[in-house]
Structure 1
């Protein structure tokens, strides 16, 4: 009985060793591993993994994209069955194969520093790098999006992509894994839009009500300071509010404002219109130049005459003028733009007009000559009340002389005289 038990124990031990050797041969067989592709969303980009008969991806040319995403290792059933009373000894799990970008996904809009999540793991893993290129990418141009990493990643952070270093556009993002045998594997996610320069936010429009469209013109866009400009609103749509910003700190809520730019410079005038459907704005440039000095000029109705001489002066100056100052040369002045002045004394006078403006000062001088008055001689004339009569004859003489008379002298012809006006 003991002998029979020994024989049965030896048989069972031999059978157990046979099963263990069979399992070892199965794990070392190059033909036992296969890659099974998991179905993906039809809206995602097409992904292809090229594999050889030994169950590992083949060398992938740089021009070929092979995103092995959720590939799983599947062990086929063996032909060796174990007795129900035996269990296989546990073995170590093989390294999985996963080369995939989980985030961002196609169609994402990103900005700033973007965390790229996914997996870069393979039994022959050496290193990986994230790269980006234009989308579409007919020239197969790729640029580093992160540094080279020699640490495999399984469903974690692959790297940080600083998108502020590139222009806003649509790009492809590639994960490229290099194996120890020189093989390169890659997966690509396309349709990633970088948008770091955000457009001016527009308030949400009320459904079925279009937002107004801002537009305006001005009577001129350039000139010397202080520059007065009339702005004319030409906006369209349903508008409930106007807001003008003139670029120098000034503003207005009028529809058609008139504004004065007092300092030289380039100013950007913005009109924002708001209505039930939302708002919009438009900007135009105004160029205000430094003012030039005014140019003094005047005329007068006469330049010479007898004393007393009254002269009317007419200002004909040009430019921006803030004050007038007339000096007539006889000790008198005036601040009127168009004064009238009387010269009493005989002589020549220098009349000076001085101007002051934001751009500076200027003056002009003209001469006025005042002469002695020309007085014509008086014309003597008289009438007697009678011309004949008996002696002694008394006659009344009436003076009828004209002109400026300073003295009278009558001579009656009989040796008698008189200095009276009417003797």
Structure 2
């Protein structure tokens, strides 16, 4: 590039309190690292300092009808105990709160002029896409619109077993149909996700560009760990939420079988499950009582603490849903790669993480393959016990894939398509 691009970034949140906010923050920092001229508008509801980069916290606009309706709905719910949000979304696709959030973001963007920027980039989290919807309402920005799509939307476009139907799903789909037509380019963190979404939104063909989740820069293992984590042990670490389709029970049972088959591992091996409570926690707690080597965190840990444990773990676990495919790139994968330790991948045969690790990656199996999982745990433990610290083939060189240089490649592709 002859000159640095000027980019207006509009983000639903860049707060590191959420995984989506951490991902957006890392991406913004990657753009800055690569020399792009950035201005950030964000709806994090708090001030955030990005040092030399202009970073403006968007304020709620409390003068719209949507705001009044949202507050009236809240008061009605408190008085009656009746939540009518399902009815609201069934009728119009989105909640009143979503509407006034979009309006607040839209008004912040309207203070900027497209002539001052090469691109406008929308970043979101979970199923929000507020920034995307705000930009969609401003056609003067569409020829410069880069839409970052981190997950399928709406929910019925998720792969099985996640594909349930939300209230107002057709209106949500209509929103994404319009989005795919309007955006200049669609940025995905995953190649498989891009292919998956194009099957639902054909107007997005030839617009896909891949920027994977990035390794957060300037993070270092500070040596601060929870009391339940002993870094000298053979720690098999799973950190992250256990959604209904991410069933960890075979992992726990395989670990118990491994301990039984390899008695000397009893004093050294630990299976550490870090995250907030889930539908599996009651059953997990029962197994933890039977096997003291299974450790459940009392609650979710701060990102920095989790990062420290990932760097010290003997094995990092990536657990995906049981299904035909997993086109997602879990946000923790870059930091598991950065840890330079073996990754135990449990998921579908067709998986973005497996695609990146390689078809013949050694420590992979389906989440319910008890025998192979126990064998992997045994092999990993014996390597650790014998101080065989060679990096598993296919991991070390992948670090470059998650570095900010991928942004330059993506922007070159976008520029060539202009």
Whether TM-score is above 0.5 comes out as: no
TM range, normalised to the smaller chain? Answer: under 0.3
The structure whose residues are more often strand, as a share, is: 1
Higher relative contact order (CA 8 A, sep 6+): 2
- The TM-score normalised by the length of structure 1 is 0.17
The structure whose residues are more often helix, as a share, is: 2
